[in-house]
């Protein structure tokens, strides 16, 4: 399966385009790395691809089919700041099961401790919360993961552990990944190809 974004253009304000005629293709068996300057529009592209921004021009397709927006969205975005993506009045077990109930061994590979499930989001660290938001995105209906600087708040060891678990799961389940990062060394380890944002964005 292929995720294709074709000729995407987008501007928050009329005369200040952020994305212009940008095309990108991601196969379901690869990890595509994306690097670019701060403020250049990488997160904006991620939001277009995963359905958060709707009034763009161009098309986002899975095997040339447009994506149904009412159902579970097969392209899941993992945000940089997990704390904003969780209802502060929900305990973690509800946060997780809003998407699905992952098997115990998957929770273990991501280092998710059982007693975290009974806590509120503000009782966990950013790194601990990020494990939940990654696991949440790995619903069986997910076909592609858009990872927008998901590991910046983690220390080096944890970063390796989590990326290992994520790459492993995605390989087994044929989930393609777009990994956005400033960290060139990280991308060189995890990505099959690395794209430079300024080269694909035709501004």
Ligand X SMILES: Nc1ncnc2c1ncn2[C@@H]1O[C@H](COP(=O)(O)OP(=O)(O)OP(=O)(O)O)[C@@H](O)[C@H]1O
DSSP symbol at 70 = S
How far apart are alpha carbons 10 and 30 in whole angstroms?
26
Q: Of ligand X, other proteins, Mg ion, none, which one does residue 38 interact with (CB within 5 to 8 Å by kind)?
A: ligand X
Using CB under 8 A, pick the residue from 77, 154, 178, 191 that binds other proteins: 77
The answer to the question of residue 43 lying near Mg ion (CB under 5 A) is yes
Dihedral sign, Cα of residue 59, residue 65, residue 67, residue 72: negative
- HEC letters along 71-115: CCCCEEEECCCHHHHCCCCCCHHHHHHCCCCCCHHHHHHCCCCHH
Using CB under 6 A, pick the residue from 14, 15, 38, 88 that binds ligand X: 38
Shortest distance in whole angstroms from residue 40 CB to ligand X:
4
- Cβ neighbours of residue 92 closer than 8 Å, sequence gap 6 or more: 116, 117, 118, 119, 120, 121, 124, 132
Using CB under 6 A, pick the residue from 18, 24, 75, 177 that binds ligand X: 18
The answer to the question of residue 175 lying near other proteins (CB under 8 A) is no
- Find the binding residues for other proteins in span 99-118 (CB under 8 A): 99
**Residue (92 or 145) nearer to ligand X, CB:** 145
- Under the rule (CB under 8 A), what is the footprint of other proteins? 50-52, 70-73, 76-77, 79, 84-90, 98-99, 139
């Amino acid at each position: 399966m292929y995720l294709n974004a074709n000729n995407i253009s987008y501007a928050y304000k009329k005369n200040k385009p952020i994305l212009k005629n940008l095309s990108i293709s991601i196969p379901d068996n690869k990890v595509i790395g994306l690097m670019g300057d701060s403020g250049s529009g990488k997160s904006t592209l991620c939001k277009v691809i995963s359905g958060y921004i709707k009034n763009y021009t161009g098309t986002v397709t899975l095997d040339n089919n447009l994506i149904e927006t009412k159902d579970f969205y097969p392209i899941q975005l993992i945000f940089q700041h997990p704390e904003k993506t969780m209802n502060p009045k929900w305990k973690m077990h509800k946060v997780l099961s809003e998407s699905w109930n992952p098997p115990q061994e998957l929770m273990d590979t991501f280092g998710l401790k059982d007693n975290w499930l009974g806590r509120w989001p503000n009782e966990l660290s950013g790194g601990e919360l990020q494990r939940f938001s990654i696991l949440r995105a790995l619903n069986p209906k997910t076909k592609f993961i858009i990872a927008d600087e998901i590991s910046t708040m983690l220390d080096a060891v944890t970063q390796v552990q989590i990326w290992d678990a994520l790459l492993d799961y995605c390989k087994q389940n044929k989930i393609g990944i777009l990994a956005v990062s400033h960290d060139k060394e990280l991308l060189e380890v995890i990505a099959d190809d690395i794209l430079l944002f300024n080269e694909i964005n035709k501004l």
